[in-house]
Amino acid sequence: MSDVQQVLAYRRPSALADRHLGLETAGGTGQSANPRFFTGFLTEAAPAASGLLAVARVARSQYPDAAGRAAFRDPVVTCDGGRLRFESFSRCGGVYARLDVLSAGLDGEVHDRGTTNVDVNEPLRRMLAKVGGRDPLHLSVGPDELTATALGGSVLEKKVPLPQRWLRGFAEVQVITAGFEPRAELSAADAARLLKSLPSGSRRALWAVPAGRSLRLTGSPVPGAVCIAGPERLESLVPLLRFAKALRVYGPRPDNRPTASAWELDLPGMRLVLALSPGSDRGFSGEGAVLDALASDDAEADAELIGALLAFEPRVETDLLAERSGLPQARVRDALIQLGTAGRIGYDLAEAAHFHRELPYDAKAVDAMNPRLRNARALVEAGAVRIDGDSATVTAGEREHRVRAGGCTCRWWAEFGGTRGKCKHALAVDVARNGVRG
């Protein structure tokens, strides 16, 4: 899938000089071409540096390790006025990482709110690796506090190809994790024992079962278990264990098949979360969790209304948005999913709430980024959907497929059983039904 090309202007490279970290931004939502979002100290420098390295490490990683993928991407940073969020996906799209530096971890001034890409390059990673102990660490998100000394030279303009796969991944992750429940909380010592006991290089799924105050590993799903699909993908948490206060584990209701999961380290003044897709060979972008909401006729118009009400709140309250917009909560939730496809909505498991960010993507490209939805609408436009009460017939080429509440007769449904979202035939029926109701 092609990347979405965005030309982002960096006035100079990011640098770490005299123990001051300057992360160069490429613009936000303010009026200035290169606004500053935050300047000040990170009160817990060592875990913050390690957390940033973990997010950057995920962006460089691919599971399983193989050639043929695009180069790693720059992580995304958001300032919402009370915290900084750094986010990335692995090259394969199957691991999502986010470091939230909370207000307790910041000592400085907020100048603006917004989202941008961060230039975390190899020299900067080497410098971050040297931050430790009680070293002071000053963070300037924006060009004004940046001194380009360590990296030698400046970058006046940089083209950053942010792949559609990332945007689709952001949308899918917030829908999938919003359905998770807390499954376990481990002490730092128990977390270290668990993570260090995971088999290296294993691609098969394991399950973690509550056992007293810890978790034990098993090779098959049992009640209350959390899936660890590709346990080697949790390796980015290990360097942070020396700072951890606790490990919280989240997952969906147990299933007999591998499922996604989320693993959150509680650190001084910050949190680091890794979300794993249901398999090492599965990126979040193909999970199809957003398709139901996108098939709604109301979602696009509702998203424009809800989007105008967002203001980088650390918690996006669905009931409050419903009250302000006059929309039912179900339509607000669909609108948030629609906004998620434009990178504007994420989900914070620790706070059980959505949050607002902005990404430099064209929200009108939703259909292009969701080929099943695009194909479903094409079937409807071609008159290929015949609705008969609670069931329907969809003609695709020379074949007819029956769609009922329990699924479809197509090969996709036979293979995935709805675990990766609806097939194009079932989506076409939804689109057609929305049109009938409208």
How far apart are the C-alpha atoms of 262 and 181, rounded to whole Å? 10
How far apart are the C-alpha atoms of 429 and 438, rounded to whole Å? 14
In this structure, are residues 104 and 84 in contact, taking their beta carbons and an 8 Å threshold?
no
What pLDDT is attached to residue 372? 81
Rg value, the chain, Cα: 22
Asked if pLDDT for residue 164 goes beyond 90, the answer is no
Q: What is the pLDDT of residues 36-87, one digit of tens each?
A: 777 778 888 889 889 988 998 998 888 866 444 445 556 788 888 889 899 9
Structurally, the chain folds into a number of domains equal to 3
**Residues 102 and 218 grouped into a single domain:** no
**Residues 190 and 140 grouped into a single domain:** no
Structure tokens at 30: 């303010």
In this structure, are residues 288 and 420 in contact, taking their beta carbons and an 8 Å threshold?
yes
**Residues 11 and 123 grouped into a single domain:** yes
Task: Please report which confidence band the pLDDT of residue 132 belongs to, taking 50, 70 and 90 as the band edges.
Answer: confident
Residue 30, SS3 per DSSP? coil
Q: What percent of the chain has pLDDT over 90?
A: 23
Residue 56: closest CA among 32, 82, 28, 91: 91
What pLDDT is attached to residue 20? 52
How far apart are the C-alpha atoms of 434 and 392, rounded to whole Å? 14
> Quick check: pTM over 0.85?
no
Q: For 328-338, what is the mean pLDDT?
A: 84
Q: What is the pLDDT of residues 291-332, one digit of tens each?
A: 665 656 666 778 888 888 887 777 888 889 999 899 998 888
Residue 276: give the domain boundaries: 172-283
How far apart are the C-alpha atoms of 242 and 133, rounded to whole Å? 12
What count of other Cβ atoms lies within 10 Å of the Cβ of residue 208? 25
Instruction: Give the least confident one: 138-152, 272-286, 294-308, 312-326.
Output: 138-152
Structure tokens at 261: 């999961």
Last residue within a domain, chosen from 134, 162, 190 = 162
Task: CATH number of the domain at 239, please.
Answer: 3.10.150
Q: What percent of the chain has pLDDT over 70?
A: 74
**Residues 12 and 151 grouped into a single domain:** yes
How far apart are the C-alpha atoms of 386 and 398, rounded to whole Å? 15
| Mean pLDDT taken over the chain | 78
Mind giving me the DSSP string for 168-219? HHHHHHHHHHTT-EEEEEEEHHHHHHHHHHSPTT--SEEEEEEETTEEEEES
